[in-house]
Chains A and B, each alone.
Chain A
Amino acid sequence: MPRIRKVRRLSTRDKIVLTAMVAIPTLIELVFVWLPTLFSIGLSFTRWNGLDLTDIHPAGLANYQYVAQNYPPFWPAVQHNILWLLFLGIIATPLGLLLAVLLDQQIRGSRIYQSIFFAPVMLSLALVGAIWQLFYQRDHGLLNFLLGTAGTPAAVDWFGDSNVNIWAALVAATWRHAGYVMLLYLAGLKGVDPALKEAAAIDGANAYQTFFRVVFPAMRPINIVIVVITIIESLRAFDIVYVINRGTNGLELISALVIQNLVGEGQVIGVGSALATILLVISLVPIIFYLTRTFGKEAKEQ
């Protein structure tokens, strides 16, 4: 490849410019993202109150042992994270795909529908929590009114009742996630060669077969992106449960437990960091999967 020769053609001045171009962003990335990540791992093996840097004491695996054995909200949080992933994966993401498939047909008003379904993606999850509060509220909420339970003892406090609030939060999260998935799939569907569909139709495939045997597999790259986004979003879920009740009383998530241990009255940095490290290790699975898919081929070529 002739391109490789470029490096040799660089003057000293070019080399200095290039070094600065790479060094400054890399330094920012290392100092504010990767160094803290490593510190999180390091701090998870220590005991520290966060006050004096000389007070950091080694603790071995004690924080992990505590989290797994003596920290009541931990296992519910793990279950909730799994539930979050399953709900997004089984309901929200397929709903987004359905919307995309419906809108991909040449129908009137497609753009208006798209704008409506996509509008919640423009809102922060914190705001989604506030808006749905008006919807879910016990005495004045719309949902209890529609169910005919408003003002009666049967009225449900959708965000307050620890038996139902995770489901209420998941519906609100779906409201946002499905629109996002729809948009990505709409882009993916546009990228599918129409000749593929025609060929399938000629071979006598019905609409259902054409979609699941031809169109869907042809969208493999976008499918991978969607799987990764769905997993990462469910691990990152935080804002909405924090806005509702700070991630307590039925809404425990690992991300919320991390923050509960780091800020507020009893700072337990070792425990918070152990939870953060657990979150990190789980997150690395989809991240590495995605990175090998995306960069694997290029890395081999080099």
Chain B
Amino acid sequence: MSVIAAPSIKEAPKATGIGGSRPRRHYATHLILIVLAAMWLLPLGWSVYTALRPIASTNQYGYFSLAGPYNFDNFIAAWNQGGFSKYFLNSALITVPSVLLTLFFSSLMAFAVSRVNWKFNITLLILFTAGNLLPPQVLAAPLFQMFKHLNLPYWFSDSGTLLNTYISVIAVDTAFQIGFCTFVLSNYMKALSSDLTEAALVDGAGIWRQYWSIIMPLCRPAFAALGTLEVIFIYNDFFWPLLFIQSGDRLPVTTAINNLQGVFLSNYNLLAAGATITVIPTLVIYLVLQRQFVAGLTLGASKG
């Protein structure tokens, strides 16, 4: 397999008939990629295809036929029977505050450890970065018990504790993601010239001014990238709602799909429609904000 592409293929002389001087066409590469891409699309394509077929034609012709009508009835039925509008609202109620809080707190922390030189910079940064790398199951039991034994007035929470509230999920999602965002943002802020804040210092700008008026606006690309990434991370989070939220109608859509599998068990067309509906928001975000999303992932990993 050819690893190095011939440099600037377009400028290469046209094929002369002599094998060596012909530009590389990568036929083999395309062949491998097309086969793999087809395999990659198969599960998703199969879901969409199954979802678009009414159960009646599936029953009549079998799952593996093309006959019969195609329509969106399964999507409508899944939406209504599955209660997706409620689950999407729950997802939004958890995701939006979590992402905003995560970005705000991590930017504070990142500023403090990257733009001010003091003793515990590295120690704190290690504490935050390591926290994000832990398996969530390690802290599950104490968090569950902490929330369970914290008594709250009933006007605040109908469970009398933090369990079964959005706040419990938001708090833990935020705490868990602060580590990753602090790490990424602090690297980003470190790369900004120190002259920027030095000049502001001479002009008498305090720490808050430096943070809010100078550094934050410069970090906009990093916020766009991290924001996109965090929306996907938190929307996709399955575990914390599973642990903390007991009443089914408060679950976000990612966790609810687990319950829906039971509801739709006899009708795979409905399950496929439900799965497809759940995918749509992430795919839309990905297609619209692809650049930000990819930038966010590599921003975090490029510094080894």
Contact = CB atoms under 8 A, between A and B. Distances in A.
Interface of A: 1, 3-4, 6-7, 9-11, 13-14, 17-18, 21-22, 24-26, 28-29, 31-37, 39-40, 43, 50, 53, 99, 101-108, 113, 115-120, 122-127, 130-135, 137, 140, 142, 145, 150, 172, 175, 179-180, 183-184, 187-188, 191, 194, 197-198, 201, 207-208, 210-211, 215, 220-225, 228-229, 232, 235-236, 238-239, 242-243, 254-255, 258-259, 262-263, 269, 272-273, 276-277, 279-280, 283, 286-287, 290-291, 293-295, 298-299, 302
B18 to A, nearest CB: 19
A272 B303 CA distance: 35
B2 A124 contact: no
Contacts of A120: 40, 44
A240 to B, nearest CB: 9
A291 B126 contact: yes
Interface stretch (B71-79, B219-227, B255-263): B255-263
Contact of A21 (B40, B211, B242, B297): B211
B268 A294 contact: no
Interface residues of B, number: 108
B191 interface: no
Interface string B83-123: 00000000000000000000001101101110011100110
B5 to A, nearest CB: 4
Nearest to B32: A102
A105 B25 CA distance: 11
B146 interface: yes
B133 A290 contact: yes
Interface string B256-299: 01100100000010011011001100110111001000100110
A207 B109 contact: no
Contacts, number: 322
Contacts of A142: 42, 46, 63-64
Contacts of B50: 134
